[in-house]
Amino acid sequence: MAANVPPLKGLKVLELGGLAPSPFAGLILADYGADVVRVDRLITPFGPPRDTLCRHKRSIVIDLKHDTSRRAFLELVKVADVLIDPYRPGVMSRLGLGPETLRQINPRLIYAHLHGFRPDGMYGKRAGHDINYLAVSGILSLLGRKGEKPAPPCNILGDFAGGGLVCVTGILMALLHRSVTGQGQVVTANMVDGSAYLATFPRQQLGHTNMDKPRGENLLDGAAPFYEVYETKDGRFVAVGAQEPQFFSLLLAGLGLEEKDLPKQWDRERWPELKAVFTEVFARKTMVEWRAVFDDTDGCVSPVLEMGETERPYKPLVEMSGSPSLNVDVQEDYPELKKGEGCQEVLHEWVPGLEKAMDVDATSKLLTLERAKL
């Protein structure tokens, strides 16, 4: 591939319209050059949040229960490289459009299922959201303060990390396999197992030093005074992660404290006492004042920034010197992808021989292909 060409350029992806995890998988592929076409339904089955994960994508509208629209969909499947299916187990198969059918039509197709629960597990056919997947994966039990109930995070861990990103990993592995064998395959990801895999390290550490106490009493979950969030004078926050002794020394220096006057860093019985000292000292200055103290040191003290305060421009998932991603500098206020937007261009590029035979309804944008026009 030529230099400076996105690594997935030329890859054709059908993304069956869904909520956050599957659009995120499609977004990653699109950011690296894949031609991602969202397959929308006539209806809008879910309310807010709307799909804003549509950068670099186009849309077609398909009714899989309508023969002529289904026929148009199958023509696109024939030339697709990847199909992302976010529906519950068995939905597409009951429509006669599961992987066993579509891969007969196109043996090179990589059919990627993205489920919530483990499809063959006890919750496989049940509805759920990020909080449910984290609960079943065991991760939610780790999150939260001492003496408090588990704290659900924003839906980054389950939906996006354990779901969309894991699904993309499977797709890329399948593409590598296809480059050798010429054959596609079925990729099955689910947010429970994906999230659990991300938690490999804390699961392995359970019961061992620094992970042998109940939630909120361990090194990395809020008990350690040198691995904690502190409020500043102006009601803002700073994050402290000074575990190593050299970084801990720089933390104390920045706080104006003498190590000899304090409990030992690793005296766990006296961590509450040391935390109280840090809490009082951090409250003496504003976040900006603490940044002036720590930003140029290795004291491992960072400001807790709001989303609008982070460094710009935004960066892609990974930067690649020879095959960079498309532009992702602007990630908020991205225009919503309207149903059917870009459909004619998709037909022209994907199925030029059938472009004139396909109809796009002016109002609904429904794409159909009459058998008589073939």
**pLDDT > 60? residue 20:** yes
- b/e code 318-353 from CB counts within 10 Å (16+ = b): eeeeebbbeebeeeeeeeebebbbbbeebbeebbee
Per the prediction, the chain carries an average pLDDT of 93
pLDDT of residue 306 exceeding 80, the answer is yes
Give yes or no: 159 in active site: yes
**For the chain, percent of residues with pLDDT exceeding 90:** 87
Does the pLDDT of residue 100 top 80, yes or no? yes
Which of 31, 40, 159, 221 is catalytic? The answer is 159
Three-state secondary structure along the chain?
CCCCCCCCCCCEEEEECCCCHHHHHHHHHHHCCCEEEEEECCCCCCCCCCCCCCCCCEEEECCCCCHHHHHHHHHHHHHCCEEEECCCCCHHHHCCCCHHHHHHHCCCCEEEEEECCCCCCCCCCCCCCHHHHHHHHCCHHHCCCCCCCCCCCCCHHHHHHHHHHHHHHHHHHHHHHHHHHCCCCEEEEEHHHHHHHHCHHHHHHCCCCCCCCCCCCCCCCCCCCCEEEEECCCCCEEEEECCCHHHHHHHHHHHCCCHHHCCCCCCHHHHHHHHHHHHHHHCCCCHHHHHHHHCCCCCCEEECCCHHHCCCCCCCCCCCCCCCCCCCCCCCCCCCCCCCCCHHHHHHHHCHHHHHHEEECCCCCEEEECHHHC
d(CA 273, CA 132) in angstroms, rounded, equals 36
pLDDT tens profile 171-200: 999 999 999 999 999 999 999 999 999 999
Tens of pLDDT, residue by residue over 202-227, are 999 999 999 999 999 999 999 999 99
| pLDDT bracket for residue 372 (50, 70, 90) | very low
Does residue 51 register a pLDDT over 70? Answer: yes
> What does the pLDDT look like over 336-357, one tens digit per residue?
899 999 999 999 999 999 999 9
CA distance 184 to 226: 49
pTM of the predicted structure, to 2 decimals: 0.93
* Dihedral sign of CA atoms 45, 46, 52, 54 in order: negative
Question: For 115-133, what is the mean pLDDT?
Answer: 93
Backbone angles phi, psi at 92, to 5 degrees: -70, -35
Task: Give mean pLDDT, residues 300-318.
Answer: 93
Segment 54-79, tens digit of pLDDT: 999 999 999 999 999 999 999 999 99
Instruction: Output the pLDDT for position 374.
Output: 43
Tokens describing residue 224: 């350690």
**Has residue 48 got a pLDDT over 60?**
no
Place of tokens 């400076």: 4
Residue 46 has pLDDT above 60, yes or no: no
Q: State yes or no: pLDDT of 201 exceeds 80.
A: yes
The whole-number pLDDT of residue 30 equals 97
pLDDT given at position 332: 64
